[in-house]
Amino acid sequence: MSTLYKTLTMAMTAILIIASCGNATAKNDDKKKSAKETVKTVSAQELNATDFAEKVYDLSKDDLKYLGDKPAIVDFTAKWCGPCQRISPILDELAKEYEGKVVIYKVDIDKNPDLAQAFGVSSIPAILYIPLDGKPTMTIGARDKAKFHKEIETNLFGTK
């Protein structure tokens, strides 16, 4: 009987140790999750037609007036477009670099064909630069990060 008692005691001790380790791991995982949730991820924001009308231009009005308080870039894109997918991470990087200075949006032309048509987008990627003052500028085609930097400085901030 003492052997059975020792075996049961050891088994119960092992179960308690395993359970407490599992609980500690769960608590650590919860801490990791909450830390990750507090980290703000900055990237290009995807817009639908309603968001576009609230943040960029209300196309239902005759007088097109930019609605933002920072210069903006609108990337007209599609999931099936290879060049669009190549520049997408670059635009996310630029969103981080220019945080607080420039807002970067993405518009999926398959989901929002009316927006693409309103801006005459017939080839993608099409990049619309919207300065706070002055006329918007549209460029077509993929580009590297250095070219984006030049275009941002020229088209949004008026520097060369």
Residues with catalytic roles: 81, 84
Distance between CA 135 and CA 104 in Å, rounded? 17
DSSP label of 8: H
At 146, the amino acid letter reads: A
Containing H/E element for 52? helix 49-55
